[in-house]
């Protein structure tokens, strides 16, 4: 489970958000679907008009491999307790993301 913790010294509030790995698997299934990929590509390829000239972007959104991404999530499960992000700003705000 991914754990996101935010501490605010200014307002003296603590926020804790647990994100289960099953949610990652759902997000991977949605992100790798043909429908989502097609919609992303359509939004990238929208024609833009600059000074009455039509410019079309030629960027191709890469195809994501569902099985490879699920293997990444499976590997992350082996490193429980690993701190991915630990940031403290000058105002005392703290953000910690832990596996």
Residue 98's nearest CA partner among 30, 86, 78 is: 86
Domain-wise residue ranges, the chain: 2-98
How do residues 43-83 score in pLDDT, each as one tens digit?
776 665 455 565 665 666 677 788 888 888 888 889 998 99
Residue 40 confidence (pLDDT): 79
Distance CA 85, CA 99 (A): 10
Q: Is the pTM of this model over 0.75?
A: no
Q: What single DSSP character describes residue 81?
A: T
The pLDDT assigned to 17 comes to: 92
Q: Round the average pLDDT of the chain to a whole number and report it.
A: 83
Q: Using alpha carbons, select from 70, 66, 65, 64 the residue that is nearest to residue 40.
A: 64
Q: Which of 77, 68, 71, 64 is nearest to 33 (CA)?
A: 64
In this prediction, residue 97 has a pLDDT band, given cuts at 50, 70 and 90, of very high
Q: Over pLDDT 70: what percentage of the chain?
A: 82
- The DSSP letter of residue 89 is -
- Cα–Cα distance, 23 to 1 (Å, whole number): 9
Biggest CA-to-CA distance, the chain: 55
pLDDT of residue 92: 83
Reply yes or no on whether the pLDDT at 25 is more than 70: yes
- 84 pLDDT above the threshold of 60: yes
């Amino acid at each position: 489970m991914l754990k996101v913790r935010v501490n605010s010294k200014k307002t003296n509030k603590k926020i804790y958000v647990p994100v289960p790995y099953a949610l990652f698997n759902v997000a991977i299934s949605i992100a790798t679907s043909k429908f989502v990929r097609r919609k992303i590509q359509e939004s990238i390829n929208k024609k833009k008009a600059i000074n009455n000239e039509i410019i079309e972007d030629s960027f191709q959104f890469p195809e994501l491999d569902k099985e490879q991404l699920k293997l990444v999530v499976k590997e992350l499960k082996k490193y429980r307790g690993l701190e991915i992000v630990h940031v403290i700003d000058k105002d005392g705000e703290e953000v910690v993301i832990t596996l």
